[in-house]
Amino acid sequence: MIAASPLPADAQIYRRSDPNGRQIWSDRPIDQPTAVYAVAGAPTQYSTRPIGISESPSAYDSLVVEHATRQALRPELVKAVIQVESGFNPRALSPKGAMGLMQLMPTTARQLGVRDAYDPSENIRAGTAYLRQLLDRYDGNEELALAAYNAGAGAVDRYGGQVPAFRETRDYVKKVSSRAGRQNAVSLAGGKLVVYKWLEVINGRAIPKYSTTPPAGASYDIVRP
């Protein structure tokens, strides 16, 4: 959910993308058709509540430019990371504990001296500094830096300096880099029946879909086994 009023610090934000690359944000898993609202300034973003003007993407332009300039980053790259990470919701908290606009993990936030990860200025300062560290580590390779931002530098290193073969990470890199991408299929051993769940936006509603084959281009959950 992206709301005009601040969300409590312990709010859980769920993000899914449909086969057309549109992202749906909610504070709960969507298990039935649910009305969604387009996010102004972010045409592929939908939330389960109307977004407030104070949380529009342009509200953070000055902070993005300031901190991107300090870290010698392209502002467009920083804004793309924020859009994919949090949908410009400064109170976003992922199920894994990533916080704020640039979804800082607690360890990263501590290492970068962040006192309040939900403060937009602190969050963008630290997020851009971390992104700069990763770009330096991978000789300016944005794809590897983005993969490390999503999955951790250790995962990139374990894959021999390549984008890890994780569905989420490869999708993330493509979405940030080009605002579109194709998901990799997931396979499970053991011969068990696998059921996939994803969401599609149809006539202004997020509709849960289920299949025994993974959808092309959509983020999905495995609901069985």
Structure tokens at 179: 């605002």
Rounded mean pLDDT of 197-209?
Answer: 82
φ and ψ of 175, to 5 deg: -65, -45
Whole-angstrom distance, CA of residue 71 vs CA of residue 125: 9
How do residues 92-137 score in pLDDT, each as one tens digit? 888 889 999 999 999 999 999 999 999 999 999 999 999 999 999 9
Above pLDDT 70, what percent of the chain? Answer: 79
Contacts of 42 (CB under 8 A, 6+ apart): 57, 83, 87, 88
Catalytic sites, residue numbers: 85
pTM: predicted TM-score of the whole model, two decimal places:
0.59
How do residues 143-180 score in pLDDT, each as one tens digit? 999 999 999 999 999 999 999 999 899 999 988 887 42
